[in-house]
């Protein structure tokens, strides 16, 4: 398979009781590439991220990630693969308000047997938050944080297992222009430092020149989305 991190072939996906239809004949991203995905709302960009992460499974076709055919794995194996090999930065952060910043970053290690919480992991979590400029707020509840700070916590959580692949769904969508550039800097630096691949869905067209490549989802539209 050479140096590809993501390889999709002859994929077809629909949601039950919906006229949404996604067909991707061929899609490939190489290791350590930073790729942006753009396209109209409802075209299936988030669906693509969920298919790559194994949260969704295609009806037809294959989704390979890091050499593994994710679309052929069972539920538990897909979940373990996602937790250990993929960092997902969600649009709405998915942080737990009742936990402090550090505990939010460590949370996946507490709920999954696939990850082992060690002293080294705790130190790395602290280091990541420090690099993101949050080192003085480790015990702060995330409910007190700004949108930009929450986004940085979410990025730290995604990066903690040193994933091969980082998926970002509108990671800059809720931020003001100054913060957008800053968050992207931090995300790019971290991805680079870990030798990871980045696949990011974005509406921020002014950020596109910073990526290695842009994929326009209009090319895959086979029906209407919702």
Distance of CA 5 to CAs 55, 96, 137, Å? 17, 31, 35
Both tokens assigned to 192: 């680079």
pLDDT of residue 221: 66
Reported as a single tens digit per residue, the pLDDT across 140-167 is 888 888 888 898 899 999 999 999 999 9
Residue 127: its pLDDT value, please? 92
For 123-143, how does the pLDDT look when each residue is reduced to its tens digit (9 = 90+)?
Answer: 999 999 998 888 888 888 888
pLDDT, mean of residues 71-89? 93
Tokens 């061929």 — which residue? Answer: 26
Give residue-wise pLDDT tens across range 199-223: 999 988 888 999 999 999 888 765 4
pTM for the structure as a whole = 0.90
Q: For the segment 9-44, what is each residue's pLDDT rounded down to a tens digit?
A: 999 999 999 988 999 999 999 999 999 999 998 889
31 near 166, Cβ under 8 Å?
Answer: no
- Evaluate the CA torsion angle 52, 54, 57, 63 in order and state its sign: positive
Strand 197-201 to 34-38 pairing:
parallel
Q: Which of 12, 164, 2, 13 is nearest to 81 (CA)?
A: 164
Residues 6+ apart with CB under 8 A from 6: 27, 28, 29, 52, 63, 64, 65, 165, 197, 199
Task: Name all domains of the chain by residue range, CATH numbers in brackets.
Answer: 4-220 (3.40.50.300)
- H or E segment to which residue 104 belongs: helix 101-111
Query: Is the CB of residue 99 less than 8 Å from the CB of residue 142?
Result: yes
* Token pair 């390979």 in the structure block, residue: 64
């Amino acid at each position: 398979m050479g140096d590809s991190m993501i390889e999709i072939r002859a994929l077809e996906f629909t949601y039950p009781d919906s006229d949404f239809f996604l067909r991707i004949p061929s899609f490939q991203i190489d290791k350590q590439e930073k790729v942006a995905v753009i396209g109209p709302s409802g075209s299936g960009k988030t669906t693509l991220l969920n298919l790559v992460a194994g949260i969704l499974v295609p009806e037809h076709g294959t989704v390979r990630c890091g050499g593994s055919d994710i679309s052929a794995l069972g539920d538990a194996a897909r979940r373990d693969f996602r937790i250990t090999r993929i960092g997902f930065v969600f649009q709405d952060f998915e942080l737990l308000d009742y936990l402090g910043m550090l505990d939010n970053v460590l949370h996946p290690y507490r709920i999954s047997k696939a990850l082992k919480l060690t002293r080294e992991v705790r130190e790395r979590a602290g280091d990541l938050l420090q690099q993101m400029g949050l080192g003085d707020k480790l015990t702060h509840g995330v409910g007190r944080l700004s949108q930009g700070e929450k986004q940085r916590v979410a990025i730290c959580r995604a990066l903690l297992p040193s994933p091969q692949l980082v998926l970002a769904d509108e990671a800059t969508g809720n931020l003001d222009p100054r913060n957008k550039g800053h968050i992207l800097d931090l995300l790019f630096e971290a991805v680079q430092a870990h030798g990871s691949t980045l696949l990011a869905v974005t509406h921020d067209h002014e950020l596109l020149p910073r990526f290695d490549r842009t994929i326009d989802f209009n090319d895959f539209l086979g029906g209407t989305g919702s």
